[in-house]
A and B are shown apart, each in its own frame.
Chain A
Amino acid sequence: MSKTRIFLPRDAAALGVGANDIASTLEGTLQDADQSIELIRTGSRGMLWLEPLLEVEQDGVRYGFGPLIPADVPQLLEAGLLTFTSDISHPKALGPVEKLDWMKRQTRFTFARCGVTDPVSLSDYKSHGGFEGLTNALALDPSAIVEMIKSSGLRGRGGAGFPTGIKWQTTSDTNAEQKYIVCNADEGDSGSFADRMLMEGDPFSLIEGMIIAAMATGATKGFIYLRSEYPHAHIVLEEALSTARAAGYLGDEIAGSVYKFDIEIRLGAGSYVCGEETALLESLEGKRGQVRAKPPLPAHRGLFEKPTLINNVLTLAAVPFILAKGAEAYAQQGFGESRGTMPVQLAGNIKQGGLFEAGFGLSLEVLINDIGGGTASGRPVRAIQVGGPLGAYFPPELFDIPFDYESFTDNDGLIGHGGIVVFDDRVDMKEQARFAFEFCAIESCGKCTPCRIGAVRGRETMEHIIKGTEIDTNLDLIKDLCETMRFGSLCALGGFTPFPVLSAIRHFREDFTAGAIEPLSGRRSS
């Protein structure tokens, strides 16, 4: 008799709500019963409101049960979890997971395997299409790989949205003995967890993406700069790297080819600004994470002054699909200049929070109220913040904005890393504006004055406004300060802090009691 396969995530979000308690209850209960089961720890499907989500396979179909508490486990076993999976009637029974609305409506390119496979099993990876992209890449010239990335329309998923193919081309064109691939896994934006989910749920796809990037650009060494707040991702990545190395996918003669490449993980140390690419390079070199002035571009002179390709986790993890299925298959999805899919993350006060990968162009209304189901508290949605702590706040009146790079830029906002944080009607937008300055003050690297001093003065001025002191005068001061920060800061930390501040004032002026100010016009070219 073949074993019944049971799947349970080892994703940090699932662990944080008791996935290991479910595993130990299950194992404890089954010990005496002589049941023949195989428990496989996967990544998360991304339906985080259903975690811990247990899946049982029957006739090749996976049936879901969640969100579970340990007391559900004996009940479900009694009801025949292991034998009559599909017929079980239990409040936590969800039916076939792939048929759930949330799953059916997605276009999962990057996250196809996440939650499905054992993240550290190379055979699982291969049997689900893994390394097909690498195999195709091995048959191509480096310049042809770069061309494919260009024609896929892929743009940097870290937030800046810079065309990935151009970055690859520039690094490839720069001659040097030593070049580096650096994966930016310093995902610090509140509301974002896609990098974490991918690294914990499908680390080989990131590794494969980095290998292909190395082949295309001529790099021989890669670093994954991982934030220290992600200890579980660290464990999974280390395991996946040693497995890949043992199987000949890293090291000399990758997959029997002439290419040589290896990857090392480096931990950050709790600094948000190190997610900025030049600060990240300084940090990798062991220095204070201070932003560098550009030029030179990292692609010309980056890590240890060598040409360096820096891409976000999601950017690199999108690469295997493009090489496996073709640039056209990727570019077919999307909207306007934003091609392909974006893993949107619904977070904060939301009923159905999680990761939803789809082509660009869905409206905020669909994402928040339809897919996300509105607030968790059941109260009206009052505000959302899109794109992390440097992203703008929007009211429900603007929920017709489509989710893509240009639409958000046009509305004085940014999509950043694709995180959306939902707030209900109890939010005080003065406090959110104050927090934006406070966060910038805490995380400023200190190199440029507009950010270092502007953030502190901004926080102080917001505190005056909150106390009701000379509100109109102080709001004028805030506007002035934001203009200086926006156009005078060296990087996005100081430069974009005005987004949450000014959008809060513009769209929620009633919270600031007196007067209001006009938003800044004009855009930063970078």
Chain B
Amino acid sequence: MGDAPNSLERTRQIAGEHTQKEGPLLPVLHAVQKEFGFISSDAIPVIADVLNLSRAQVYGTISFYHDFRTEPTLPTIVKLCAAEACQAMGGRKLAVEIAESPDPDVCIENVYCLGLCATAPAAMINNEVYGRLDIHRLRALVEATK
């Protein structure tokens, strides 16, 4: 959140939109991350204030879940499935191969199951899903996001 005061105002606004929900914290965190790409440490006291929670509660929730990011991310996120069905179809090899040529704009992460287990190996690239991958197709799909 480079533009600090404005983005914190926006965070307050987003959090305010969810106060009527039962158990609003996860929806707020998802919405803030959707807006900014991550949840900054400055956003924590704002969210805590709006939802009448302690900062520790907000931080504790953020740090528990794999999805929530506390740092800005790269433009392309590749979530490569590392679970058993994809392992059975060469998922481990695919992970090694893609790591051999690191790309400064691409963040490669593990995900444990995308539910595409009969069309393995699978990956999610910027929220789109792909199955029956090999290294050539994966590289081409990553390139296409640029």
Contact = CB atoms under 8 A, between A and B. Distances in A.
Contact of A350 (B83, B118, B130): B118
B129 A16 contact: yes
B55 interface: no
B129 A12 contact: yes
Contacts of A268: 26, 65, 67
A272 B82 CA distance: 13
A462 to B, nearest CB: 15
A137 to B, nearest CB: 26
A427 B88 contact: yes
A289 B62 CA distance: 11
Contacts of B129: 12, 15-16, 231-232
Contacts of A350: 118
Given A228-B67, A271-B64, A16 B113 contact: no
Interface string A209-252: 00000000000010000001111100000000000000000000
A525 to B, nearest CB: 27
Contacts of A48: 118-119
B64 A17 contact: no
Interface stretch (B1-9, B17-25, B70-78, B95-103): B17-25
A13 B88 contact: no
Interface string B97-141: 000000000000001111111111010100111111000000000
Nearest to A228: B67
A396 to B, nearest CB: 15
A349 B89 contact: yes
Given A288-B60, A422-B88, A270 B119 contact: no
B146 interface: no
Interface of A: 12-13, 15-17, 48-49, 51, 187-193, 195-196, 221, 228-232, 264, 266-272, 283-290, 304, 345-350, 353-355, 376, 385, 389, 419, 421-424, 427, 432, 435, 439, 442-443, 445
Given A17-B132, A190-B84, 18 more contacts: A13-B118, A16-B122, A191-B84, A192-B115, A221-B22, A228-B67, A229-B111, A264-B21, A266-B23, A267-B26, A284-B26, A304-B23, A348-B84, A348-B85, A348-B89, A350-B118, A376-B89, A419-B117
